[in-house]
Amino acid sequence: MSTLRRQKLHRWLTNAGDQSGISIIVVLGVMLVTSLMIVAAFTSAQGEIHTTANDVNAKKAYYAAQAGVNDYLEHLTEDGNYLSYCTSPPTSNPSLNQKSELVEKRPVHRATVPGTSAEGTPEEYGVILEPANGKESCETNNLAESMIENTGSAAGTFRVESVGFAGKTERRIVATFKNVNFVSYVWYTKYETFDPAFYGPPYRIECAQYWPKRNTHSCPATNFIVTGETIQGPMHTEDHLGVCGEPVFGVEATQRFEFASRGEPGGEGGLGYGSEGCGSPAAPTFVGTHIPVGEVKELEPPPGDEELQHIVEAGYEFKEKTEIKLEGNEMSVTNQGKTTKVAFPKNHVIYVSGSCGTEYNPKGPEPAYSGAKGDSACGNVYVKGEFTESLTIASQNDVVINGNITGAHGELPGGTTMLGLIANNFVRIYHPVSGCENAKEDLKEPTVDAAILALKQSIMVDNLECGKANLGKLNVYGAIAGLFSNGATGVFQSVGNEVEVIHGYVYNLKYDKRLEVEEPPHFLNPIRAAWEVERETLATKP
């Protein structure tokens, strides 16, 4: 082999043993794999970040929707008539939307969740009023028909949909509201026995006990519900109810009949009613729904109506005996011998103050309305007339109805006008007598369109044991609520299956269904009940 060829072969063998090229290839491979792992990790992290951001926004949107529900409930609690304003309340609420105003099924009007304004994308909510019964929107002058469910288990409720927004994420909550108030029932009592004043002085204060803890000899059950009677609206008593014969409870299946039987041993397993003191067994028919005793929620009256005295406008608190004649949206007021005509106050509340040291006696020939035995020094308000605007009249002592009180819409009031009558003590029906005979100014077939509340006593007819039985019916269209039974309207006796009137009036009591969701201005709520959210449902995006 030549020398030149041996040199070339030597160089080739020498280069073949050099490992530096392989190292570079390995390094490049490791870098490639590492880069791929970094890209994969980054891509995964980006996905996790995106998922986490979506989850955070979803939670924020949900809580924003919840804020909308709470905002509406707060307004409704402060003003029981908040729904009646639809989307135009006295103080503007930027979150309210009619169903007909939506754009791509989203609320146009929104409010910012408090405390989130400084965020890059603050949370917002819009509240949509959900019409009922096939209506397109909430109608202020037709509220019961346009917003209130009137059939099935949801009867008497209304719904709103709150839509929460966080960034591009939204969540929806449908909330169902239910009113639990004195005006939720055509008849409310705490004690189903006659008022202590019914028996004459001295008052039988021992009657303020639940059956069977009270002395049933001195404070018997009223047993006003008898064969032939129909209770034309929902009913609630905290007490045990006396039922004679075969009365009918309700005219619609959705009306609730609640007899709590508080304090009754084993009451939760009972019916809440019985035939104590009757000559026949209790065999009622329930067209409405009889609620089991254990499911009846407590409704406790407030201790007095003085809170209304604190909100009355200047010039609309009257002292001692006051007579009011309603004349549309004005009234003639007689106080301390002077009569003036004034417009209804802007907040629609009137208060008559003044205590009264005389014990009220509903039996004839008392009480007197004038003279030495009159009530000129008492905080009593006499009311009659016709109203075309809503109003609440409250007294520190008694409210005396001395004439027809009618709304502007006939027998069963329509629209949104309502009257509230609230007394610390009695709400009384004017019934003057001469000796123990009817007087010429007696009220025949009186009509009262009002929600009535007697906080410490009851609704009662004056001189109920006097006068001939020629006064007809006491027609009340609204609701009545009293601490004691509101059945003291006259003297009756049973003749076979019929009830014979000896003195006074027979009730013709009908429920104003608007009271399921509306009430007179600033009408007092129970201590432990008011508007509540009955149900919440997380809705899917439409």
Fill in the DSSP letter of residue 525. Answer: P
Pairing assessment for the beta strands 447-454 and 473-484 based on DSSP bridges: parallel
pLDDT at 199: 80
Q: Do 419 and 392 touch, CB atoms closer than 8 A? A: yes
What is the number of other CB atoms lying within 10 angstroms of the CB of residue 534? Answer: 15
Q: Kindly give, in sequence order, each residue whose CB lies less than 8 Å from that of residue 414, ignoring residues fewer than 6 positions away.
A: none
Q: In the chain, what are the domain boundaries?
A: 53-180+531-539, 183-516
Rounded alpha-carbon distances, angstroms, from residue 250 to 189, 247, 309: 17, 10, 36
Rounded alpha-carbon distances, angstroms, from residue 44 to 32, 34, 58: 18, 15, 21
**Residues 176-203: tens digit of each pLDDT:** 998 888 999 999 999 988 888 888 777 7
Fill in the DSSP letter of residue 185. Answer: S
CA gap 13, 188 in Å, rounded: 113
Q: Which range among 278-292, 348-362, 415-429, 437-451 has the greatest average pLDDT?
A: 415-429
Q: Do 365 and 424 touch, CB atoms closer than 8 A? A: no
pTM here?
0.79
Q: Terminus-to-terminus CA distance in the chain, angstroms?
A: 92
pLDDT, average across residues 391-414 = 84
**Residues 443-488: tens digit of each pLDDT:** 899 999 999 999 999 999 998 888 888 888 899 999 999 999 988 8
pLDDT, average across residues 114-133 = 87
